[in-house]
């Protein structure tokens, strides 16, 4: 069935380091892809999204490109900050009768000063 | 302010004592859903609703009920809670089931003893 696989955490980086969190998906259709972020004690917030192949989503210095050929949607940021410490979830949604978001298991990022 | 509001935020209860977690959204969204978040498993959908009086099972519906009598409200009901329902629960809403951003509540941490 449809699924999302993202790299296991936790990931610990120093401030200003480069971040990559890998995400791949399997889907029978052509889903939209999302990255959500969960800060401690809060619900999930949409970070960025892409709805078709080759689209690039970007927000707050984060970017991800929808790669249909490699079924990937890797999250990147050139210079992380302590305030980026959170859990990041990759997700897909193709709509369909159920229309639910299918999430990866989440990657916890800790950024040290 | 656009938001999804869940109550309570924290709940400790005993096995078999019926409980309801409320969820309300103020964005006039048609699609609402409930997820549970467990360590190592990510988020899994419990139930969803396409519109008023239209609800259906998600991936892990056993032991739960929902209702959608009004567009804004989507309560989650545990008729006879068991310890394996100890989890972090999130309500979410979106304009539709198709490729649109989901807005999440802040979560309800439930412990069943």
Calpha distance A98→A2 (Å, rounded):
12
The per-residue pLDDT for A93 is 85
Q: Check whether A42 has a pLDDT greater than 80.
A: yes
The per-residue pLDDT for B99 is 65
Q: Check whether A77 has a pLDDT greater than 90.
A: yes
Q: What is the mean pLDDT of residues A54-62?
A: 96
B66: buried, middle or exposed (CB in 10 Å: 19+, 13-18, 0-12)? buried
Radius of gyration of chain B (CA): 13
Yes or no: say if B55 and B31 are a contact pair by the CB < 8 Å rule: no
Q: Check whether A1 has a pLDDT greater than 90.
A: no
Yes or no: say if B17 and B47 are a contact pair by the CB < 8 Å rule: no
The per-residue pLDDT for A83 is 96
Low-confidence ranges of chain B (pLDDT < 50): none
B81: buried, middle or exposed (CB in 10 Å: 19+, 13-18, 0-12)? buried
Q: Which of A5, A42, A44, A66 to mutate to test the interface with B (most CBs of B within 10 A)?
A: A44
Please spell the DSSP secondary structure of B89-109, one letter per residue: EEEEEES-SSS---EE---EE
A32 with B59: Cβ contact below 8 A: no
Residue scoring higher pLDDT (B46 or A41): B46
Q: What is the mean pLDDT of residues A93-112?
A: 82
The per-residue pLDDT for B86 is 98
B5: buried, middle or exposed (CB in 10 Å: 19+, 13-18, 0-12)? middle
The share of chain B scoring above pLDDT 90, in percent, equals 82
The per-residue pLDDT for B96 is 77
The per-residue pLDDT for A54 is 95
Name every residue whose Cβ is closer than 8 Å to that of residue A78 and which is 6 or more positions away in sequence: A18, A61
Q: What is the mean pLDDT of residues A50-69?
A: 95
Q: Are strands A107-112 and A11-14 parallel, antiparallel or unpaired?
A: parallel
The per-residue pLDDT for A29 is 77
Q: Check whether A79 has a pLDDT greater than 80.
A: yes
Please spell the DSSP secondary structure of chain B, one letter per residue: ---EEEE-SEEEE-TT--EEEEEEESS--SEEEEEEEETTTEEEEEEEEEETTEEEE-SS-TT-EE--SSSSB--EEESS--GGG-EEEEEEEES-SSS---EE---EEEEE-
Cα torsion angle, A78, A79, A83, A85, sign: positive
- Which residues in chain A are closer than 8 Å to B96, comparing Cβ atoms? 99
Yes or no: say if A102 and A1 are a contact pair by the CB < 8 Å rule: no
A96 with B97: Cβ contact below 8 A: yes
Please spell the DSSP secondary structure of A47-84, one letter per residue: EEEE-STT-EEEETTEEEE-BTTTTB--EEESS--GGG
Interface of B with A (CB under 8 A): 4, 31, 33, 40-45, 48, 50, 56, 58-59, 90, 92, 96-99, 101-107
């Amino acid at each position: 069935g449809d699924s999302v696989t993202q790299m296991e955490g936790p990931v610990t980086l120093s401030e200003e380091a480069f971040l990559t969190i890998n995400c791949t998906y399997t889907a029978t259709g052509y889903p939209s892809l999302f990255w959500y972020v969960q800060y401690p004690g809060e619900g999930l917030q949409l970070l960025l999204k892409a709805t078709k192949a080759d689209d690039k989503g970007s927000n707050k210095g984060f970017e991800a490109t929808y790669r249909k050929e490699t079924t990937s949607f890797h999250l990147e940021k050139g210079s992380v900050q302590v305030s980026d410490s959170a859990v990041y979830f990759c997700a897909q949604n193709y709509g369909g009768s159920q229309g639910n978001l299918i999430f990866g298991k989440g990657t916890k990022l800790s950024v040290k000063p | 302010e656009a938001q999804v509001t869940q109550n309570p935020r924290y709940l400790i209860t005993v096995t078999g004592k019926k409980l309801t977690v409320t969820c309300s959204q103020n964005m006039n969204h048609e699609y609402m859903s409930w997820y549970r978040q467990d360590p190592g498993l990510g988020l899994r959908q419990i139930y969803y609703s396409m519109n008023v009086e239209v609800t259906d099972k998600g991936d892990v519906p056993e032991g739960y009920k929902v209702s959608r009598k009004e567009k804004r409200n989507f309560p989650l009901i545990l008729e006879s809670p068991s310890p394996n329902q100890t989890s972090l629960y999130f309500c979410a809403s979106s304009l539709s089931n198709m490729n649109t951003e989901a807005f999440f509540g802040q979560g309800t941490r439930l412990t069943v003893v």
